[in-house]
Amino acid sequence: MPGVTRSKACQCCKRRKIKCDENWPTCSPCKRTKRECPGPSTVVKFVHDAQAHSTSDSDQDSCSSEITAVGPNTVSLHMRKIVHRQGGSYSSFRIRSTTPRISTRPKLTTLSDRIAARLVSHLDRSQEYGITLRLGYLPFLPQRIPHSACLRDCVALFCAAWSNYRGRWQAGRVVTMSNYSKALRTLRNTLRGDQALSVETLAAMTLLERTEALFDWGQERCSAVHAHGIGHLITKKGYVDMNDELDIELAKENRGLLLGYWATECGKSFAGDAKIIDAPEANIDGGEFWGIDELKPYLESALSITGGSYGSWTQWLQDAEGIQQDPFGSEMLDRATSLRPQLSHAAAETKQCLESLMESTLDLGTLTKEDDPDSASGKSYGFKTAALAQLFNGLLMLRLVSLRISYDLSVIYGSPDTELYSEYQEVCGNAWMCISYLRKLDISVSAAFLGPYSACIEASSEKEMDSLQSIIKTMDSYLDRDLVGTEDPAHTTLESENIYAFQSLGIE
């Protein structure tokens, strides 16, 4: 039988099984751990003798009840004290809130509700602004999830892959995740049903492609397979519903992917389908997105140029490829004659827009030119927002490609235009000045901006190539990609990211 308690150590020290110095009112261990010391423990132990007592009305135990406020918080202590007739007593209490508990949101009872809440949580806590920069349709998905099982499962996959990316968990490829196979099964079943041509199904297919592109780095991607499926669905579905914001955002997202795919994989068979994905340009009134209200006139001009280029982009590439294969055929000579003025007009228009945009942004301080010892020119650009950087890079690339195709045509027909090549090198120099800004962005954002730089490699200096390879190696290290045996990591990454060259013109 245990003896009488003699230690007055506080209950915190007793629970932790450490020595209490009994330095009241706060003992030293509690003071070090910043705990509220409960004070000395009692050494008195009440023992009931278990003797029988009469239960007459005069001998009934007395009972009192009271409510005692505890602390400044909205919590009260409901105390109940019972006193026996021979002097013994005991007490019981229950802590309760003084105010009713009010839920701030409805209870999530369905799987769709929980997945939608998870997506909203990711968007609210997201610091990787660039990830959502190309995914303007994400805010419209939570309310559409209950209407589509395939969209629900694709969003669940996206959230799981995003969590793995944030935590840098070694979870393997996206295609090996259990969510991936489930998303494919529900998507297959949906495509066989009545919802095959719905906007929600298109959103699920688009999000599935983006999930692989963003979070499955270093692996052989299935961009062409995804693009073929998305293009087929869009062709069957028809034109964009201008009253549906989700449909409009999906058209903006898929435009770059499909134009690149149609130009490189499908030849002329899909050239006329580009009009199907015509949609309004980005909302330039959204100051929160651009962060620069004073630039609205310049943004209108820039977005008009980049948006209008989509109608000609695919045809330019097809004509250039045909001319290269048979430059002196009668049909190709006619194409070259009509193509040259189009390219010259695009280059001149883009140059004027870029100069106006640079002048205004430099004056406002939203674009800065800083000293950079790591840059080949000793200078680098800094942007206020990633959206402005995307627009700037898109315009640079449009001018770069039009100049490059024009110069190649002059070489093919035996009269190399050195002035065009000098202008091309100048544009490449401006593009390389953005490299330092890319280093400051999230890895996935930096990768999205790499596409246009594949057209700059020929005009790059050794220092510029070192800067580009440094970024790529940093990305590879962060994403744990194995480049052992790869002769040129820059070539490998840029080749895998070539599709972004088309998407960089899309200012979502």
State the Cα–Cα distance between residues 463 and 480, nearest whole angstrom.
25
Phi, psi torsion values for 81, nearest 5 degrees: -115, 130
Asked if residue 182 has pLDDT above 90, the reply is yes
Percentage of the chain exceeding pLDDT 90? 9
Least confidently predicted of 53-62, 71-80, 202-211, 293-302: 53-62
Q: Which residues contact 12 (CB under 8 A, 6 or more apart)?
A: 27, 29, 30, 35, 37, 38
Amino acid at 455: A
pLDDT at 40: 87
Asked if residue 304 has pLDDT above 80, the reply is no
Comparing C-alpha atoms, which of 247, 248, 277, 245 is closest to residue 260? Answer: 277
State mean pLDDT over 312-321.
Answer: 76
Cα 168 versus chain centre, distance: 15
Asked if residue 185 has pLDDT above 80, the reply is yes
Helix axes 149-167, 199-215, angle to 10 degrees: 20
pLDDT at 387: 76
Q: Which residue has the higher pLDDT, 195 or 61?
A: 195
Asked if residue 270 has pLDDT above 50, the reply is no
pLDDT at 262: 67
Q: Which residue has the higher pLDDT, 305 or 231?
A: 231
Exposed / middle / buried, residue 110 (Cβ in 10 Å: 0-12, 13-18, 19+): exposed
Q: Which residue has the higher pLDDT, 403 or 217?
A: 403
DSSP 15-34: HHT------TTS-HHHHHTT
State the Cα–Cα distance between residues 469 and 466, nearest whole angstrom.
5
Give all domains of the chain, ordered by start, each with its CATH number.
1-37 (4.10.240), 113-280 (no CATH), 284-508 (no CATH)
pLDDT at 100: 56
Least confidently predicted of 21-35, 70-84, 87-101, 417-431: 70-84
Torsion angle (degrees, nearest 10) of CA 20, 23, 29, 31 = 160
Q: Which residues contact 272 (CB under 8 A, 6 or more apart)?
A: none
452 cis-preceded (ω within 30 degrees of 0):
no
Q: Which residues contact 440 (CB under 8 A, 6 or more apart)?
A: none
Comparing C-alpha atoms, which of 154, 128, 7, 57 is closest to residue 445? Answer: 128
pLDDT at 501: 33
Beta bridge partners, 370, equal 380
H, E, C per residue of 208-222: HHHHHHHHCCCCCCC
Instruction: Give the Å distances, CA to CA, from 284 to 128, 244, 300, 480.
Output: 22, 18, 7, 38
According to DSSP, residue 1 is labeled -
Is residue 505 a contact partner of residue 256, using CB atoms and an 8 Å limit? yes
Asked if residue 361 has pLDDT above 70, the reply is yes
Asked if residue 325 has pLDDT above 60, the reply is yes
Q: Which residue has the higher pLDDT, 252 or 5?
A: 252
Asked if residue 503 has pLDDT above 50, the reply is no
State the Cα–Cα distance between residues 375 and 293, nearest whole angstrom.
31
pLDDT at 497: 40
pLDDT at 360: 84
Percentage of the chain exceeding pLDDT 70? 64
Amino acid at 447: A
pLDDT at 153: 95
Comparing C-alpha atoms, which of 168, 130, 135, 210 is closest to residue 441? Answer: 130
State mean pLDDT over 353-364.
Answer: 85
3-class secondary-structure state, position 347: helix
Asked if residue 288 has pLDDT above 60, the reply is no
pLDDT at 505: 32
Q: Where are the beta strands (DSSP E) in 316-378?
A: 367-371
For 14, half-sphere exposure in the C-beta direction (CA atoms, 13 angstrom radius) is: 14
pLDDT at 485: 41
Q: List the structure tokens of 205.
A: 């297919």
pLDDT at 203: 94
Asked if residue 499 has pLDDT above 50, the reply is no
pLDDT tens for 418-447 read 898 999 888 888 888 888 887 777 776 677
Please, which pLDDT band fits residue 484 given cuts at 50, 70 and 90?
very low
3-class secondary-structure state, position 67: strand
State mean pLDDT over 296-311.
Answer: 66
Comparing C-alpha atoms, which of 317, 348, 251 is closest to residue 498? Answer: 317
State the Cα–Cα distance between residues 241 and 251, nearest whole angstrom.
10
pLDDT tens for 124-154 read 776 555 666 668 788 899 999 999 999 999 9
Largest Cα separation within the chain, whole Å, is 123
* Mean of all residue pLDDT scores within the chain: 74
Q: Which residue has the higher pLDDT, 360 or 270?
A: 360
Asked if residue 236 has pLDDT above 60, the reply is yes
Specify the length of the chain in residues: 508
Comparing C-alpha atoms, which of 188, 185, 187 is closest to residue 203? Answer: 187
